[in-house]
């Protein structure tokens, strides 16, 4: 059928034709924003889930909800090479300028800018980055110690006080939150702790791979009290069917039931894969209904496309020993797997694999769902690894 009319949207962060199965978490976000605006305490949200489940799409939707509720917002994406301070500073500057233009009296916005300036000065000294022009005298003694766990809470406090003065709540949305270092995450947690203690109108909405298991000690217990961690997973069979059927029904096309069953069998309900199979099946079908045969024929195209795009970009960033570790995991199946089992497939000691495991976690390829276990962050990655490296001998 006509590819131009194809309703499906495979791609990182591409809004799906219909955001299925996420009503509950979106409602949670609405409640959070309503309560914080009314100065009632509520846990911030950190969405966690595997690659391609729709975290970015949800975060964008939550930003829209925030704006509808009168929030000013910033949305940033963390990455491996950029520090939290460098990432946030320019956005906070813009936010303060926005607040400055709003009606209202008082000097808290100006103070916010002065503190931001001292914060930037302190980070530049300690980590040598960010240049954010601010034609203002820095305020000495606030947010300028160079210790992020002290400075970030100070900075958030003056920012939120400025927001409060202008009667405008603020939402900070951060995607790929797992790329922050331990100390950056703990600084964020401390900052949100302060927001809650003072009942200041600032919410944090984050998304990323599961981070809680990686947090230690005090940060972890604070995090559990301050945040809820909705698990964003694959869609149920019924929701997956709806995500495929509804968009095509709008243009008088339908999927046969057996076609839907086959797509669910292949995708396990993972949103990215649903979009990809929906997309190719549509293009492949000559007319409505889209049949099992169409889906089967489309599969022959989808797999190489996924291999070449979704999986391959991640694979190509790996060193030979990292590939070998993942291949050993794939040998054991979809997972999670015990570190000791992976080591025995590779014929070596668990301890000797510590460094390669740490690098794979840093690259966001694997995570530890529970102590001693390792799992892929990319759904169906085990199948891909077996296709990519067919010849593999377990020890």
Ligand X SMILES: Nc1ncnc2c1ncn2[C@@H]1O[C@H](COP(=O)(O)OP(=O)(O)OP(=O)(O)O)[C@@H](O)[C@H]1O
Residue range at the interface with Mg ion (CB under 5 A); choices 38-46, 54-62, 297-305, 314-322: 54-62
Q: Around Cβ 24, how many Cβ atoms within 10 Å?
A: 8
48 part of the interface to Mg ion, by CB under 5 A: no
User: Does 57 help bind ligand X (rule: CB under 6 A)?
Assistant: yes
Max Cα distance, the chain (Å): 72
CA-CA distance, 41 to 35, in Å (whole number)?
Answer: 7
Region from 18-26, 79-87, 194-202, 221-229 binding ligand X, contact rule CB under 6 A: 18-26
Q: Which of residues 115-154 bind Mg ion (CB under 5 A)?
A: none
The interaxial angle of helices 271-284 and 292-306, nearest 10 deg, is 120
CA distance 298 to 300: 5
DSSP E strand boundaries for the chain: 44-48, 72-77, 170-175, 202-208, 227-228, 337-338, 366-367, 373-376
Pairing state of beta strands 44-48 and 202-208?
parallel
Residue 354 Cα to chain centre, angstroms: 25
- Least distance between Mg ion and beta carbon 362 (Å): 17
Contact 105, 126 (CB under 8 A): no
For position 263 contacting ligand X by CB under 6 A, the verdict is no
**178 scored as a contact of Mg ion (CB under 5 A):** no
- Per-residue tokens: 135: 């034609």
Candidate list 29, 33, 53, 202; residue touching ligand X; CB under 6 A = 53
- Is residue 138 a contact residue for ligand X (CB under 6 A)? no
The answer to whether 55 contacts ligand X (rule: CB under 6 A) is: yes
Cβ–Cβ under 8 Å, residues 245 and 255: yes
Residue 33 tokens, joined: 């924003």
Contact flag: residue 22 with ligand X (CB under 6 A): yes
Cβ partners under 8 Å of residue 82, min gap 6: none
- Number of residues binding to ligand X, judged by CB under 6 A: 25
CB-CB neighbours of 148 under 10 Å: 26
Q: Using CB atoms within 10 A of its CB, is residue 77 exposed (0-12), middle (13-18) or buried (19+)?
A: middle
Nearer to ligand X, 46 or 120 (CB): 46
Closer CB to ligand X, 150 or 361, in the complex? 361
Structure tokens at 119: 């914060």
Q: How far apart are CA 278 and CA 273, in angstroms?
A: 8
Among 20, 88, 123, 174, binds ligand X (CB under 6 A): 20
Q: Does 275 bind ligand X (CB under 6 A)?
A: yes
Give min distance, CB of 208 to ligand X, in A: 8
**CA separation for the pair 337, 332 (Å, rounded):** 7
- Residue in 201, 206, 247, 271 binding ligand X, rule: CB under 6 A: 271
Query: For the chain, how far is it from start to end, CA to CA, in angstroms?
Result: 49
11 binds ligand X (CB under 6 A): yes
Q: Tell the smallest beta-carbon distance from residue 282 to Mg ion (Å).
A: 24
What is the closest distance, in whole angstroms, from the C-beta atom of residue 123 to ligand X in the complex? 27
DSSP state of 378: S
Binding of ligand X at residue 331 (CB under 6 A)? no
Contacting residues for 292 by C-beta, under 8 A, at least 6 apart: 256, 258, 259, 262
Select the span of 34-42, 184-192, 248-256, 269-277 touching ligand X (CB under 6 A).
Answer: 269-277
- Contact between 274 and ligand X (CB under 6 A)? yes
**How wide is the angle at C-alpha 160 spanned by C-alphas 22 and 158, nearest 5°?**
145
6, 44, 56, 157: which one contacts Mg ion (CB under 5 A)?
A: 56
> Least separation, in Å, of the C-beta of 85 and Mg ion?
22
Piece of 48-56, 124-132, 293-301, 369-377 that binds Mg ion (CB under 5 A) = 48-56
**Closest separation between CB of residue 13 and ligand X, Å?**
4
Name the one range near ligand X by CB under 6 A: 20-28, 197-205, 325-333, 342-350.
Answer: 20-28
Residue whose beta carbon is closest to Mg ion: 56
Rg of the chain over Cα atoms, rounded to whole angstroms, equals: 23
52 binds, among ligand X, Mg ion, none (CB under 5 to 8 A by kind): ligand X
- Verify binding: residue 51, ligand X, rule CB under 6 A: yes
CB of 8 to ligand X, least distance (A): 8
Q: Does 313 bind ligand X (CB under 6 A)?
A: no
Does the footprint of ligand X cover residue 56 (CB under 6 A)? yes
**Footprint on this chain of Mg ion (rule: CB under 5 A):** 56
**Footprint on this chain of ligand X (rule: CB under 6 A):** 9-16, 19-22, 49, 51-57, 243, 271-272, 274-275
């Amino acid at each position: 059928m006509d590819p131009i009319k194809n309703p499906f949207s495979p791609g990182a962060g591409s809004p799906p034709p219909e955001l299925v199965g996420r009503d509950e978490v979106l409602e949670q976000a609405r409640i959070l924003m309503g309560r914080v605006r009314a100065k009632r305490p509520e846990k911030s949200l950190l969405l966690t889930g595997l690659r391609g489940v729709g975290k970015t799409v949800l975060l964008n939707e939550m930003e829209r909800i925030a704006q509808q509720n009168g929030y000013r917002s910033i949305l940033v994406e963390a990455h491996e090479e950029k520090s939290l301070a460098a990432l946030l500073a320019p956005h906070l500057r813009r936010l303060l300028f926005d607040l400055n233009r709003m009606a209202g009296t008082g000097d808290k916005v100006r103070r916010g800018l002065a503190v931001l300036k001292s914060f930037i000065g302190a980070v530049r000294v300690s980590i040598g980055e960010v240049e954010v022009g601010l034609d203002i005298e820095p305020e000495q003694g606030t947010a300028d110690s160079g210790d992020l766990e002290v400075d970030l809470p100070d900075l958030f406090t003056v920012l939120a006080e400025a927001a409060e003065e202008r009667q405008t709540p603020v939402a900070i949305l951060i995607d790929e939150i797992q790329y922050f270092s331990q100390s950056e995450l703990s600084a964020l947690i401390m900052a949100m702790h302060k927001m809650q203690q003072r009942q200041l109108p600032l919410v944090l909405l984050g998304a990323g791979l599961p981070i809680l298991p990686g947090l230690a000690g005090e940060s972890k217990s604070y995090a559990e009290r301050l945040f809820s961690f909705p698990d964003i997973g694959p869609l149920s069979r019924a929701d997956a069917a709806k995500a495929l059927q509804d968009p095509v029904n709008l243009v008088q096309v339908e999927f046969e039931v057996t076609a839907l069953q086959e797509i669910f069998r292949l995708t396990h309900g993972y949103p990215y894969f649903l979009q990809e199979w929906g997309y190719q099946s549509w293009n492949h079908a000559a007319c409505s209904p889209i049949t099992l045969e169409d889906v089967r024929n489309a599969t022959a195209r989808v797999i190489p496309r996924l291999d070449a795009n979704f999986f391959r970009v991640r694979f190509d960033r790996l060193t030979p020993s990292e590939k070998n570790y993942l291949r050993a995991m794939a040998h054991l199946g979809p997972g999670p797997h015990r570190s000791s089992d992976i080591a025995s497939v590779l014929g070596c000691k668990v301890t000797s694999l510590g460094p390669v495991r740490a690098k794979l976690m840093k690259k966001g390829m694997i995570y530890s769902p529970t102590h001693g276990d390792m799992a892929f962050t990319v759904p169906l990655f085990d199948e891909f690894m077996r296709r990519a490296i067919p010849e593999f001998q377990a020890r």
